[in-house]
Structure 1
Amino acid sequence: MHSQNERFFTDFDIYLWKQGSFFRAWEKMGAHPCRMNGRDGVHFAVWAPNAERVCVVGDFNDWREGAHELEPLEDTGIWHGFVPEIGPGVLYKYAVTSRHGGYKVQKADPYGFFCEIRPQTASIVWDLSGHQWNDSQWMRDRGRANSREAPISIYEVHLGSWMRVAEEGNRWLTYRELAPRLAEYVTEMGFTHVELLPITEHPFDGSWGYQTVGYFAPTSRFGTPQDFMAFVDILHQNGIGVILDWVPAHFPTDEHGLGFFDGSHLYEHADPRLGFHNDWKSFIFNFGRNEVINFLISSALFWLDVYHVDGLRVDAVASMLYLDYSRQDGEWIPNKYGGNENLEAIAFLKRFNEVVYREFPDVLTIAEESTAWPMVSRPTYLGGLGFGFKWNMGWMHDTLLYFSKDPIHRKYHHNHLTFSILYAFTENFVLPFSHDEVVHGKGSMPAKMPGDLWQKFANLRLLYGYMFTHPGKKLLFMGNEFGQWSEWNHDAALDWHLLQYESHRGLQAWVRDLNAVIRREAALYELDHDPHGFEWIDCNDSEQSTLVYLRRSKREEDVVVCAFNFTPVPRQPYRLGVPFGGYWKEVLNSDADLYGGSGLGNLGGVEAEPVPFHGRPYSLSITLPPLGAVLFQPAEPPGK
């Protein structure tokens, strides 16, 4: 080991590290090509406070454990040192000998920037410089695109299975191959953001990325760190935001990973009642350790800073909030007040959101939180968790339960649709039909719908029409937009060949037009999180299984009326009250021929009559098509 006369860590670094505020830890921890004492090489730093000895081993020293020993950095628990005459591209691990019972293990770098492709597990020294960003306009303006008052429609994507190259052994596309294809498709379909299932390095394909080992490394399956930078850059240049799935709730038990790192439970709790997930067979982070907080918040900021990412969707927040999450009596330890709240995880989530929004006020944080925990998307100074948005899992479950019913029985389940408005404005909600709804025997979106083939697709168009007009931002998993017939398979591409069939093409066109109308009509997005943006016209017609409501923007006269028929029986004439007289144009109709419908409609629009109805001074007499969604807005009649 080269003797160290120059200091890599400053006294201030050490101070921040100890107090749990070292939130740019990636700049000092891990492997950094640099010049020290007049020589080029790599500085290594790893946290292993219970180690007796730590060595860097790699292809540069034939993996010999004694060749390059690291030195302890004061009383920080960090081991560090400089290895001259090596640089980017070398493979390495940390050979850790524990103080406890002579336990020895070789670990990948927790702060490593790049990894060997699985099943190999070494880290790779990497220089993150070199990419010339061309997204300055997007970065300058993205605050508007990420605003609660913006139209946000998210396309959720698993990069390994969105599209593949069948003629080359069904191989993945690389980051650089994916970027232009995905950007073109997302632009054509009108989505505003993509959300990527975790691209943080993970050993097992079947975990879809949710069993993360490399919290600072984009997976090498699809290319290098610079390739992923290019991917984000190209989407930004096309006006598309990039959200990453991020997993601070748990991590896998693979030997080369974070678990039992230095012969002690370092990143995880020692007691399995706190530190082990039986559902996922994974470790749970110890949120009471400052060094773990440094690690996780640094990871969050790293993606936002180095990779220009526009948001983080935090996975499995409910499992973090509750000590008894998925546990029986006796399998969990109450907090100091005797409750089931995980006080340390709550403090971590609040701090995570505070730091992220302080450093990057124009990004999104989104909680996947499946319970009624209050104020998830409210500021911490009001007692909330501080997230920007929360997935509306209750809406998703109730809606899919309703749509699974044969239409003849739906009148008995009407409240499954109307209940959501009672709490729609308690959080900043995202309405998700995500990957979780099309796996593990739950069936594809068309398979969830009752009826024959025509009715299944009519129901699906109706479902998306209801979703896209309901208060809240939108999220669809890839394949849902064209009615992927089989469940999602992470080992195969989507069934793009289905687009040769009219029903699938029609559904795709419907989603494209829904995206277009919610981007064009402020009434359908501007007040998504404000009760002034929604008004029932009729929520009580359970006998006919219809719903009618009005969406409004900040401009009182800017309205869209949305009417839904959840049965295959056309309702004509169907009268509904409206606030204004004049001509009301039919903006969208899910039963149009273009979408594979039966072609029942309103010939472009309807004149409002001065017939009071639904407590309003005017009303429309319309055709409400079978299993149909129709949207109207006031306009001058054609030719006037």
Structure 2
Amino acid sequence: MSFSLLSDYDIHLFKSGKHYKLYEKLGSHVVDNDGQKGTYFAVWAPNAEKVSVIGDFNGWNKTSHELNPRWDQSGIWETFIPEIGNGEVYKYFIKSNTGEELEKADPFALMWEKPPKTASIVWDTYYEWSDKNWMDIRQDKNSLDSAYSVYEVHLGSWKRDPADNDRRLSYREIARDLVPYVKEMGFTHVELMPIMHHPYEPSWGYQITGYFAASSIFGNPQDLMFLIEELHKNEIGVILDWVPSHFPGDATGLFRFDGTALYEHENPHEGYHPDWKSYIFNYGRFEVRSFLISNALFWLDRFHVDGLRVDAVASMLYRDYSRNEGEWIPNIHGGRENLEVISLLKEINEEVYASYPGTQTIAEESTAFPGVSRPTFSGGLGFGMKWMMGWMNDTLAYFEKDAAFRKFHQKDITFSTVYAFTENFMLPLSHDEVVYGKGSLLDKMPGDDWQKFANLRLLYTYMFTHPGAKLLFMGGEFGQKAEWDFKNSLDWHELENPLNKGMAELVKGLNNIYKTEESLTLNQFSHTAFQWIDTMDEENSILFYKRQTETEEVYIVLNMTPVPRDSYQLGVDKAGTYQELLNSDDGHFGGSGISNGSFKAKKAPYHGLDYSVIIDLPPLAGVIFKRK
């Protein structure tokens, strides 16, 4: 065959694990071959004896359109087929060198058929983008010193057709409602749970078969680009959930792609994930590294996304993750760390930040692995942020307790600041906390209906004033009562309830304060921006702290009990008039309406500070105030 998109240099990069744009070379591409339009196919199958393209165009004939093996021992097979183009449905027929016959979808396909169908579709990622304004400013909007309030969304259940709950909305239909809603609520970013092609909906997208394809359940790639563009036009960043930790064993997917363990390990002690009954990438194989790095960069390149949240990093970092003694293989030094993963994650992060300035990578990592969000030049993994799982666990455990017993657990809620500045932490109240019988966030709160809402408003006030970025899963922003169900729309009708409506208004208010008060964003990952003023009033379960810059302070006091505290004294730095910025007990939020408005500080030393104020602390509420 004379036509090829692959140069000798491409092959060199691919075989050395350094090809970062494989999606431009492998897969299916509509091309002009010396004046003849058609599609070029290229696939990596080094242990195949024969490879052919089968599809509607040839009646799924296994012998009519065979691929040619390249002469360079790269294991890549390629061919050009004239007169077929976008929309053509196809698979690869692979006869393994062991005689096994397989029908495989294209690992680099840009589009797949809707499940339960499993074939690839010839497509492209051409799009006339009109989000230049966002791309020009995102380096500021997406920086670590900016407000970073993330709304986590599962596209299949955020909202469905009101007339037919079984019908999922398309990317374009979702854009019509999601974009103005997120803007109104004040979130700065949307994080989409995996939208890469996945055949099994109950996996929520975490069992991916088409790593380079947007899920066709909601439309084609350009439809997803439209959604992202509309978010960008409204200055909302987009983070994609990315899953390089494992893939399913579907017969048409990556598993034993050419009849051998190609993308995964042969040994199940290295290549099989016991938790998810899926397969682990062979991170030490150069061609697989090229695949994964290319995939990470693909979404930043072709889809203009602003960040990747990398799923299950802990499971990647440790060879003994979820394994008993004798069920895992140590590294070359006899340790449990996966050295190949460590080097790969560093390389991905370095390339992301070098090639796509203004983007972020965020690790879901639940262990004490050091330096996850520290630069690679100082020995870190190079992520921009890390989920603060310890904060999430401790906070929910505390708030689930009856208020009468919280005085015995004051140190549990303050412990997070002991390690809060060891990483660039994001505080996650994610989908994982509202599934599998855990109940909704509201349902976790103790007390009667009013107290449940008050407790959740208090929790959010604490969250939005605690150091770090924020993430809240959809439905939590209005206090949905039911646990999340991926098969159904959120319970939007609950917004007719004043308490749910008030919850949404509170989150809107917290987002606004987070975005406008520099004390809450500048140096939000540094100990210099936070100070406990009083944690010792355990009897009343009251916490008092401040967030600060060099020039101003914002004070936060939390009353963790349903008992109002009248005329409560609080130390402040300066004389003058102070103003409530937000009171979670405000009647507008569904509270009892105890408020302070503005109040003056007097020369009365307290809490080690020169001045103090006297305010009324509302029940189960947080008060944010600052000097005028």
TM-score range, shorter chain: over 0.9
Q: Once the 2 structures are TM-superposed, how far is the Cα of residue 209 of structure 1 from its aligned partner?
A: 0.4
Match of 1:17 among 14, 17, 25: 14
Per the alignment, residue 70 of structure 1 pairs with: 67
Deviation at 1:442, TM superposition (A): 0.8
Q: Does 1:291 align with 2:284?
A: no
Q: Deviations over 1:584-613 (max 9, x none)?
A: 0011000111111111121x1210010000
Deviations along 1:174-222, one digit per CA (max 9) or x if unpaired, are 1111112111000000000000000000000000000011110000000
Distance in 2 of aligned mates of 1:6 and 1:193: 43
Q: 1:278 aligns with which of 274, 277, 289?
A: 274
For 2:285, the aligned partner's letter is R
- Residues 198, 209 of structure 1: 8 Å contact kept: yes
Q: Deviations over 1:494-518 (max 9, x none)?
A: 0000011011001110000000111
Equivalent residue in structure 2 for 1:613, among 600, 606, 628: 606
Task: Tell me, yes or no, if structure 1 residue 82 matches structure 2 residue 94.
Answer: no
Residues 51-450 of structure 1 aligned to structure 2 (within 5 Å): 51-73=48-70, 74-100=72-98, 102-129=99-126, 131-168=127-164, 170-450=166-446
* 1:167 positional shift: 1.0
Q: Which residue of 2 aligns with 1:624?
A: 617
Identity of paired residues, percent? 56
State the shift of 1:25 in Å. 0.3
The one-letter code of the counterpart of 1:92 is: Y
Question: If the length of structure 2 is used for normalisation, what is the TM-score?
Answer: 0.99
- TM superposition shift of 1:148: 0.6
The separation in 2 between residues aligned to 1:623 and 1:228, in whole angstroms, is 50
Separation (CA, whole Å) in 2 of partners of 1:261 and 1:13: 22
Distance in 2 separating the partners of 1:259 and 1:170: 31
Distance in 2, Cα, partners of 1:168 & 1:97? 44
Deviations 1:207-245 (A, max 9, x none): 000001111000000001111111111110111101000
Picking from 33, 38, 42, the partner of 1:36 is 33
SS state at 2:157 partner: coil
- What is the distance in 2 between the residues matched to 1:588 and 1:545? 20
Matches within 5 A, 1:487-498: 487-498=483-494
Q: Could you list the runs of 5+ residues in structure 1 that have no partner in the other structure? A: 636-640
The runs of 4+ residues in structure 1 deviating greater than 6 Å are none
Alpha-carbon offset, residue 7 of structure 1: 3.5
- RMSD of the alignment, in Å? 0.8
Please point out which of 510, 520, 528 is paired with 1:524.
520
Aligned partners of 2:410, 2:124: CA distance in 1, in Å? 58
1:638 — aligned with what? Answer: none
Task: Tell me if 1:513 matches 2:509.
Answer: yes
Which residue matches 2:572? 578
Question: Which AA in structure 2 matches 1:612?
Answer: P
SS at match of 2:488: coil
| Match for residue 562 of structure 1 among 541, 556, 564 | 556
- Cα deviation for residue 169 of structure 1 reads 5.1
| Deviations, residues 265-305 of structure 1 (Å, cap 9, x unaligned) | 00001111110011101000000001111111101111000
Superposition deviation, residue 430 in structure 1: 0.4
Tell me by how many angstroms 1:415 deviates: 1.1
Secondary structure in 2 matching 1:576:
strand
Question: In structure 1, how many angstroms separate the alpha carbons of the residues matched to 2:283 and 2:165?
Answer: 43
How many angstroms does 1:334 deviate by? 1.0
Distance in 2 (CA, whole Å) between partners of 1:163 and 1:294 is: 37
For 2:82 and 2:579, how far apart are their aligned partners in 1? 73
Letter matched to residue 143 of structure 1: Q
Tell me the secondary structure at the aligned position of residue 477 of structure 2. coil
- Between the aligned partners of 2:36 and 2:231, the Cα distance in structure 1 is 39
Question: 2-side partners of 1:235 and 1:332: how far apart?
Answer: 44
1-structure distance, mates of 2:553, 2:486: 41
Q: In the TM superposition, what whole-angstrom CA distance separates every residue of 1:285-326 from its partner, at most 9, and x where no partner exists?
A: 000001111111101111000010100000000000011111
User: What SS does the aligned partner of 2:348 have?
Assistant: helix
> Aligned partners of 1:87, 1:332: CA distance in 2, in Å?
46
- 1:5, 1:37 within 8 Å by CA — same for their partners in 2? no
The C-alpha deviation readout for 1:249-270, integer Å capped at 9, x for no partner, is 0001110000011110000011
- Give aligned pairs, total: 627
Check whether the contact 1:581–1:610 (CA below 8 A) recurs between aligned residues: yes
Which whole-Å CA distance do the structure 2 matches of 1:45 and 1:81 have between them? Answer: 7
TM-score (norm 1): 0.97
Q: Distance in 1 between matches of 2:590 and 2:561?
A: 17
1:159: Cα distance to partner?
Answer: 0.4
> By how many angstroms is 1:543 displaced?
1.4
